[in-house]
Amino acid sequence: MKDELQKSRLKGLRAEMKAFGLRAYLIPRADEHQNEYVPPCAERLNWISGFNGTAGLAAITIDTAAMFVDGRYTLQVQDECSDEFWKYKHLTDNPLDLWLSRLLSSGDKVGFDPKLFTNTGLGRIKTVLENAKIELVAIEENLIDKLWQDQPAPPLGSVFLYPEKYSGEPSKAKRDRIAGGLKETGQEALVVSSPDNLAWLFNIRGSDLALTPIALGYAILKSDGSSTLFMDAQKLSAEVQQHLEDDGVLVASPDQFEPTLKTFKDKTVRVDHVTGSAFIVDVLRKSGAQADLGPDPCTADKACKNDTELQGMQKAHIRDGVALVKFFHWFKQQPAEAETEWTVSEQLARFREQGDLYKSPSFQTISAVGANGAIVHYGLVKEKASPLKSGELYLVDSGGQYLDGTTDVTRVLAIGAPTEEMVRRYTQVLKGHVAVSSARFVEGTTGAALDPLARQFLWADGVDYDHGTGHGVGCYLSVHEGPQSISKRGTATSLQPGMVLSNEPGYYKAGAFGIRIESLLVVKQLEPQPKNAERATLGFETLTLAPFERSLIDVGMLSADECNWINAYHTRVRETLVPLLNDFDAAFLKQETRHIHPRSL
């Protein structure tokens, strides 16, 4: 963003803040559903700052402005937001609440849009500010929207039915099961605020977002099994509307959502603590209802994929593996200087498009060479794409949306001869990847307990990576879904059979290179169980089928068990994909998946 435009927008916002008596205003990278990826009309943070990351929060005061990001974006924010206007803050090291409490004075007011924040997200901020006698004020009219004259309209992408041959279960069966749980816990209704959960619950998919097949809207499911879907009728074809009606679903316009919330006086209503906005909670409480903040039960059900979904995910990964092998082979044949990050990314997309049931990428491909690889969520722009150069590493983090599954995979390819440091770091990351993939753990274990397995070999050298090790993945839904994760932050959710997670340790050397190895795993119960086991024992099966970069592996750093695991994995990749490749690509894959031995690659 040019300085003059940045200056003008901040000036306009501060004028609005003064009109509301605010000393500060908070702008999150969020929409009304707390989506990671948001429609263009919700890119308010980008509009005010130029920041393109998928997570961040701006705090703008009358005198200054700060951008709070996590470790994925500490480099990117400096490239996209001018330090003439912005201070850069790490969300964990320099939390927003403490920064505001030290900067502002007793009696000051901090404004926020209640539709863009959850009560959970506001909890600590509110407590710290109240202790400093600073008031947190809900401003229902978004101040950015008042200034954004050419703001895009909300999306009206078409909704389509998701067949049971892919979902594995009728919508009514899901609704009845969730409603039964509400009844058992004395809850009158559930507000479904997550579009992912809405898609899963009603067996529909949408096109409101470019790369995530969801439709924005809300639903209310009552304990008697009745349900109302609040969605713009322009998104629903006559066929979809008729199907929903025949299935017992009432469809209402979005403007009926708030009035319906007001009908639950003296009733207990579950509101998702992750995606349910402070606005929803406030409407319920002012109407005399008890807003019960907690997990949306759809989230846990959706996370544990049924047999049909898992079979679809496996098939999708086979098709994805074919595309990846074709790409790797093509990549290795290109003169480095003849290609750029953009052109090779486009070639990978063309290979994926050849696969059956392919619909789109599952997110914007991270195609990064050299120092760009050290920017964890590097945003590729065609006009700024760097050329490939010999002696550098190329990191590609990509995925596909197939009708029967979602993929997400990261591999690193060496361009020419790698340095000793590159090889050491890659091998350490690979060892961590293998440690997680081969982990065995008892029922009830959370992802936080496994996270150190991925980091231990980097820690031994006094280095680390500033992001989680793994996130959940949906089935033809969001590439990032909860509640499961593998992360330092931890979660109360234990790993359960049917959950799909990523396994993606990494290492990033600012200004030099980045390494990340990512595969998707599914949690499985071990068969047979260990002899004399006292608790059910679980493990992982790797879904992703893509070879590792042989030239970056120092076999001398691997144990015999690690070599055996890599060999077994490469054997499965080879035996699964070779029959689906032409002779040229099959020969390449056979070469790349040869067994590794202590003295030879």
Residue 601 lies in a domain: no
Final residue belonging to a domain, choices 147, 171, 204? 147
> Taking Cα atoms as reference points, which of 102, 89, 138 lies closest to residue 117?
138
**Cα-based angle 281, 284, 288 (whole degrees, multiple of 5):** 135
In DSSP notation, 527-570 reads SSPPTT-SS-EEEEEE-------GGG--GGG--HHHHHHHHHHH
Q: Is the pLDDT of residue 112 over 90?
A: yes
Q: What's the mean per-residue pLDDT of the chain?
A: 96
> Cα dihedral angle (160, 163, 166, 170), rounded to 10 degrees?
120
Percent of residues, the chain, with pLDDT higher than 90: 91
581 with 455, same domain? yes
Residues 136 and 128: their CA atoms lie apart, in Å, by: 10
Residue 597 lies in a domain: no
135 with 265, same domain? no
Residue 84 lies in a domain: yes
Q: Tokens standing for 119?
A: 């009560």
Residue 600 lies in a domain: no
573 with 453, same domain? yes
- Report, as an integer, the average pLDDT of 138-156: 96
- The pLDDT tens digits of the residues spanning 59-95 come to 999 999 999 998 788 888 888 998 899 999 987 888 8
Q: Decide the pairing of beta strands 358-361 and 400-402.
A: antiparallel
467 with 478, same domain? yes
Q: Tokens standing for 36?
A: 């990671």
500 with 394, same domain? yes
Residue 573 lies in a domain: yes
pLDDT at position 599, please?
61
> Taking Cα atoms as reference points, which of 305, 589, 237, 598 lies closest to residue 473?
305
Q: Is the pLDDT of residue 601 over 70?
A: no
62 with 184, same domain? no
pLDDT at position 1, please?
85
164 with 142, same domain? no
Residue 114 lies in a domain: yes
Is residue 88 a contact partner of residue 81, using CB atoms and an 8 Å limit? Answer: yes
127 with 251, same domain? no
Helix H or strand E segment including 19: helix 3-19
- The CATH number linked to 45 is 3.40.350.10
Number of domains in the chain: 3
Residue 153 lies in a domain: no
Instruction: Tell me the residue length of the chain.
Output: 601
442 with 371, same domain? yes
209 with 137, same domain? no
Residue 381 lies in a domain: yes
pLDDT at position 363, please?
96
Final residue belonging to a domain, choices 91, 123, 147? 147
Name the residue range of residue 254's domain. Answer: 160-301
Q: Is the pLDDT of residue 580 over 80?
A: yes
Final residue belonging to a domain, choices 301, 332, 363? 301
502 with 484, same domain? yes
Is the pTM above the cut of 0.75?
yes
- The CATH number linked to 536 is 3.90.230.10
479 with 561, same domain? yes
Beta bridge partners of 25: 60, 111
